[in-house]
Chains A and B, each alone.
Chain A
Amino acid sequence: MNGDSRRCDGAPRANHPGTTCPRTRTRADRGKGGYRECCGAKDFGVGDALYLGFLFLDEDHYAYMVALTCRNPGCAKPRTGIVLPEKDFLS
């Protein structure tokens, strides 16, 4: 985990450049719990994780949002995310 590594340093982040996180990748591909409001494609690039717990009033303490970017070049809203508990993608 590499906290405060990029913008918005009020919350720790975990960096997962590219598609190097297999468990997140699998979860995103299955579309479970994701936030995908545009084209319905299932091929995503996986980006940073943003810690949500404590910072947001409505989130569980162990919740993170993982950045997903749709690889469909025709997607009108490619940037999205998936909320995951820490245990599902941090080892």
Chain B
Amino acid sequence: MRSKEHRVNGKPPCSLAYKVLAVHNFVDWRLRVGGRVERPVTLDLAALQALAEPEEQRVLHNCVQGWSSIGKWKGLPLARLADLVRPLPQARFVCFLTMQDTGRGEPSAEGEGQVYEVMDLELAYKPQTILAYGMNGKPLPIKHGAPLWLRVETQVGFKMAKWINQIEFIDDHRGIGYGLGGWREDNVHYDKDVEI
């Protein structure tokens, strides 16, 4: 069972570069993974998908906005990517950088700067944490974050960054944005460590 519609929060990046990537089905998209790691890598979508058998999970999402939806997600367990790049002992957080730089994470949340989110490193190893490239049996739609949407089902929805093109393993997030651990934390005063 899954819901017919999954509410869309946010709008895709407005940059011409993103639109060109999208119209060509993200052939030229690359994910850069680095920071406090032994082995930084750059992957295209096919290489990312080939790293491990896809993880599929069906989740009932209850949003604090007042809606709920059952979706089926398919993607790479973030733990497999961590296994590949091997975080150094100093790494304490994972920062997800997105192509969304319009200063607008969603219609009701205006701010400034590139949209990003930070989460504790330990969450990368939870089995529910995946880099989703598929949704409900199809490739991830643009409106839902194509080509890559972080699904971290043990956390609240705003931590699930969309339109990702860079992941950094970091020891400190205070120098990123306004230092509060995410675009929404910086701009609309959400709490980085809020839990469900």
Interface hits, A32-48 → B, CB 8 Å: 35, 47-48
B142 touches A35 (CB 8 A): no
B14 touches A56 (CB 8 A): yes
Give the size of the chain B interface in residues (CB under 8 angstroms).
23
Q: Which of B11, B28, B140 is close to A79, meaning CB atoms less than 8 Å apart?
A: B28
B25 touches A80 (CB 8 A): no
A8 touches B146 (CB 8 A): yes
Chain B positions 1 through 43: 1 when the CB is less than 8 Å from some CB of chain A, otherwise 0: 0000000000110101001101111111000000000000000
Interface hits, A67-85 → B, CB 8 Å: 67, 69, 77, 79-81, 83
Residue B139, interface by CB 8 Å: yes
Given contacts A10-B143, A35-B20, contact A58 B14 (CB under 8 A): yes
Given contacts A57-B11, A58-B14, contact A10 B141 (CB under 8 A): yes
Give the size of the chain A interface in residues (CB under 8 angstroms).
26
Residue B104, interface by CB 8 Å: yes
CA distance A7 to B23 in the complex (A): 9
Q: Which residues on the A side are within 8 Å of B138 (C-beta)?
A: 9
CA distance A16 to B47 in the complex (A): 28
Residue B114, interface by CB 8 Å: no
B106 to chain A, nearest CB (A): 11
- In the complex, the chain A residue whose C-beta lies closest to that of B104 is A57
CA distance A58 to B15 in the complex (A): 9
B141 touches A9 (CB 8 A): yes
Given contacts A35-B16, A50-B19, contact A55 B24 (CB under 8 A): no
Chain A positions 1 through 41: 1 when the CB is less than 8 Å from some CB of chain B, otherwise 0: 00000111111000000000000000000000001000000
Given contacts A56-B14, A57-B104, contact A7 B139 (CB under 8 A): yes
Given contacts A55-B11, A57-B102, contact A65 B141 (CB under 8 A): no
Given contacts A7-B26, A56-B14, contact A80 B20 (CB under 8 A): yes
B22 touches A8 (CB 8 A): yes
- In the complex, the chain A residue whose C-beta lies closest to that of B8 is A10
List the interface of chain A (C-beta within 8 A of B).
Answer: 6-11, 35, 47-50, 52, 55-59, 65-67, 69, 77, 79-81, 83
List the interface of chain B (C-beta within 8 A of A).
Answer: 11-12, 14, 16, 19-20, 22-28, 102, 104, 138-144, 146
